[in-house]
Amino acid sequence: MTRYKVGYLVGSLATASINRKLARALARLAPDELELSEIPFGDLPLYSYDFDADYPPVACAFKAAITASDAILFVTPEYNRSIPGALKNAIDWASRPYGSNAFARKPTAVIGASTGAIGTALAQQHLKGVLGFCNAPLMNSPEAYIQFTPGLVTDDGEVTVASTEEFLANFMAEFAGFIGRVYTVLPRGT
């Protein structure tokens, strides 16, 4: 069995983020071949091409963490019908300067939680467009728009509704299969 190192980015910087709770649940429910770890980005300054010749250490470390991951999972809320600005800023840091895109050919998946009924659908559509430009192969199905109700996921990532737990476990199993398929077609290092 091939093991994959999956870095995940939580779109919200809030410590009590429901998406961080969701990410913890996904890490608990992931199949054994996936090793998940959060890649934080809250300390990144705003991206400017002025930094391209000399990235600050925090940006170098962030980009190195993306590069060292076999795949990236985005777990994001929806802010004003799009992705949070901090997440877009992080993507810009990892994908620039031109020719050194850390997301290129790296398998990705997108999921998100919201208290609203559409559960981050519009943010995910925007993020998928950005990832397409970054040449990051994206798992298109199953889609996962989670309406987060009080108590759905505990602070330590335990899912309290059996049908949601089953759905999330299936999502992670599908992601593991997707990662394997991407690397069958696009071997690492090519």
**What whole-number distance in Å separates Cα of residue 187 and Cα of residue 129?**
24
- Residue 86 has a pLDDT of 98
pLDDT for position 101: 97
Distance from chain centroid for Cα 88 = 12
Which pLDDT score, from 0 to 100, does residue 118 have? 87
Q: What is the pLDDT of residue 56?
A: 98
Q: In what order do the strands lie in the sheet with 4-10?
A: 34-38, 4-10, 71-75, 108-114, 145-147
Claim: this prediction has a pTM higher than 0.75: yes
pLDDT bucket at 117, cuts 50 / 70 / 90: confident
What is the per-residue pLDDT across 81-108, written as a single tens digit (0 to 9) for each? Answer: 999 999 999 999 999 999 999 999 999 9
* Rounded Cα gap, residues 131 and 138, in angstroms: 7
pLDDT of residue 119: 85
The percentage of the chain sitting over the pLDDT mark of 70, rounded to a whole number, equals 99
Statement: residue 189 has pLDDT above 90: no
181: how many CB neighbours lie within 10 A of its CB? 13
Residue 12: is its pLDDT beyond 70? yes
Mean pLDDT across the chain: 96
Q: Which residues face 35 on adjacent strands?
A: 5
Q: What pLDDT score was predicted for residue 190?
A: 61
Query: What was the pLDDT predicted at 1?
Result: 79
